[in-house]
Chain A
Amino acid sequence: MPHSQHSPGQPPAGMQVSSGAQGVEIVQPSSIVTRKLGPGAVLPMRLDPRVLKRMERAIEKMADSYEKSLKTEIRQMLLSHDEWQAGKQEAIHAIYALAHDIRGLAGTFSRPVTGRISNALCQYLEALPHLDAADGAVVRLHVDAMFAAAMDAQEPSEEVAKATLAGLERLVGRTLEHCRPACDPARG
């Protein structure tokens, strides 16, 4: 592996050392910004609107392919849910992995509602030390809500999204309250 440490007794590249009055040494460390961006670069950098447009176009170019991939992932979640309910325990890990991917990407590709429902599902699964039968319905309703949000060309309105998320949140609360006394942290 290459070394970048400076040679003993020598200042690192770019570091200036000079002797000031009364023995005071002035050290000018190398500037990372200058080294990486070139002379004259200043921070914070200003985003050129033309560059921003290019970035937005780059996302648009990927949007069709992401739409297909998102729909495939949600269908896979439905299949994995069926497998999980049929007793294949590891299928829930596949559901979580898919939900985690979707919560990270859907918002970038104009699917923020799908992303938020997916995030709610991830947080539910992250909060539980183990899953039981009652969780099957909760997980399924989240996946169904994602399916409904993602399958149309346009996502539901903000009002519908808020109502859906609030409904799912109430369902999660009731499930944890009535079906999961073992989730009491004091009982491990």
Chain B
Amino acid sequence: MALEIYAYQCKKCGQLHYPYRMVCKKCGKNKHNEFDPVPLPKKGKLVTFTELYTLPGDFAVATLWLGIVQLENGVAVTGQLRLPKPKIGMNVIGQVEPVRKSEFGQNLGMVFYPAK
């Protein structure tokens, strides 16, 4: 089964949120964790990006490409990029992969590749 990361949809008004929050940002009526998890779509457009040269100590790479991607359903996420030539507005496709390893284990997150 493919790994998923979820957005959270308000059961009252349908607003999507990522990441999870306690109260709906649109209707404000959702007070009892009434959100449906909805898998994040994988296709999106690159909003902006950077190549980071000064990394936190637990990354064993020289630089890290990071970006914000607007997904098909309008939800935006931050993620790591594996794009040979990143450009604002380009189509990308994401997948869930390990993004950070530390002595306590590894974190899974969104990693984006060029859309074919």
**A and B are interacting partners:** no
Give A residues with C-beta under 8 Å from B. none
Give B residues with C-beta under 8 Å from A. none
